[in-house]
Amino acid sequence: MSDVSTIRIPVWPLIAVTVGLAVSAWLAASNDDLRLSWAGLLLSMVLFGLVLAHRRMAVVAMDDPRFERVRVVPWLMIVLLVVVLLQFPLHAWPIAWELAER
């Protein structure tokens, strides 16, 4: 290629996810109010969507012939994805427990 170009997939979504995870963990710890659990669940869904969107961004760039090279941080994405997925049961458990009370 005459004009080799490299795209670096922005990291800010992953930083946002990391910050969001901290908030989510706090919400999970503060399970005294079910509304916080619902908020945590919603936040986890947003974070999950953010990670997915970030991955899509990377894949699209890879298929984009304008770019010779695509730079991503796949391990961070995978770690965050796993942590985000672990948030779901944390928030879901108090909700389910409350709903299953007789």
Residue numbers 81-100 binding another protein by CB under 8 A:
85, 88-89, 92-100
12 binds another protein (CB under 8 A): no
Residues forming a β-bridge with 7: 70
Going by the DSSP 8-state scheme, the letter that residue 33 receives in this structure is S
10 binds another protein (CB under 8 A): no
Residue numbers 24-53 binding another protein by CB under 8 A:
31-34, 41, 44-45, 48-49, 52-53
Q: Which is nearer to another protein, 15 or 49 (CB)?
A: 49
CB < 8 Å & 24+ apart, contacts of 29-38: 31/94, 34/94, 34/95, 34/98, 37/91, 37/92, 37/94, 37/95, 38/91, 38/95
C-alpha–C-alpha distance, residues 33 and 55, integer Å: 33
Q: Which of 18, 25, 55, 83 touches another protein by CB under 8 A?
A: 55
Which residues of the shown chain bind another protein in the complex (CB under 8 A)?
Answer: 1-2, 31-34, 41, 44-45, 48-49, 52-53, 55-56, 58-60, 62-74, 85, 88-89, 92-102
